[in-house]
Amino acid sequence: MKRSSGARIGATAAVSVLSLALITGCSDEGSDSSKGSDSASSSPTAPAAKALTTAELKKLLIAQGDVKGYKVEAVDESYPTSKSEVKVDKTECRPLAYTMAGLAPGDTDANASITAGEDKSPDASKALEDMTEDALADAFDVSMTLVGLSSYDGDGAEKTFKSVSDAVASCAGGFTISAQGEDQKLNKIASEKASGAGDESVAFAASGEMEEAGTGDVHMEVVRHGNTIATYYTFNLGKLTSGGAYTVPSVVVDAQAAKLK
């Protein structure tokens, strides 16, 4: 991602020009953390889980006002709208690539997504091109999270979660994503500490090169709530260019988890 191209559209609109193929990152510290609990589907007398519809998932997504200090908006055209738009050179790494795109990491048509960004605007009295480097960096120090929900029949959610968890390990050496006319080599996938939300959760980060900015950092978490999977893909343009630390915001995860209870 070229810094100048981001500056032209402003910090509050950064998500609209950040495509899956241009934003990559990682942290080489942290550990994978997950928790599990007995699910109703494990009982021989319990009925098989039935997937929610896309319309039902949309109603369960976080909305404006659910996360204090964040602006929740519809996903814009900068993100892929179908899995056919996302190509991966390693089949086992597809669940991770789909998570980064806000798409269902598993095999289902029931999928919905939303964006949640820190509600922080640059100084309206100054044009971005007139800002100092420090002021510009501060204006772009905004965490944006793509939240996705997908739902599955039977044990589909458990299998999907396992495919993500397995991919974090099997894709540790990285993989290449092709999306929206761009190829991006991810050099490394690293486990991170998960929130522990839901029935199972796993967190990870991806590392890759950015144009004129060295290596960038982005972070993901996947949480299973019964037969529904919640995915979180977070990037911070300011931290990407400065190398500062950040992660998936716990307030976003907690707010979404509350709506899935």
CA neighbours within 13 Å on the CB side: how many for 87?
8
Query: Residue 238's pLDDT is what?
Result: 82
Name the phi and psi angles at 38, rounded to 5.
Answer: -65, 130
Task: Name the pairing type of β-strands 111-118 and 86-88.
Answer: unpaired
Query: Residue 220's pLDDT is what?
Result: 97
Q: pTM here?
A: 0.80
Residue partners of 208: CB distance under 8 A and separation at least 6? 24, 25, 26, 174, 184, 185, 186, 187, 215, 216
Determine contact, residues 231/221, Cβ cutoff 8 Å: yes
The CATH T-level fold of domain 3-259 is Protein Transport Mog1p; Chain A (3.40.1000)
Query: Residue 126's pLDDT is what?
Result: 58
Query: Residue 209's pLDDT is what?
Result: 76
What are the average pLDDT values for consecutive 10-residue runs of the chain, which has 261 residues?
30 33 34 40 60 98 97 92 94 96 96 94 59 70 95 98 98 91 89 97 90 76 98 90 88 98 90
Query: Residue 139's pLDDT is what?
Result: 72
Query: Residue 120's pLDDT is what?
Result: 75
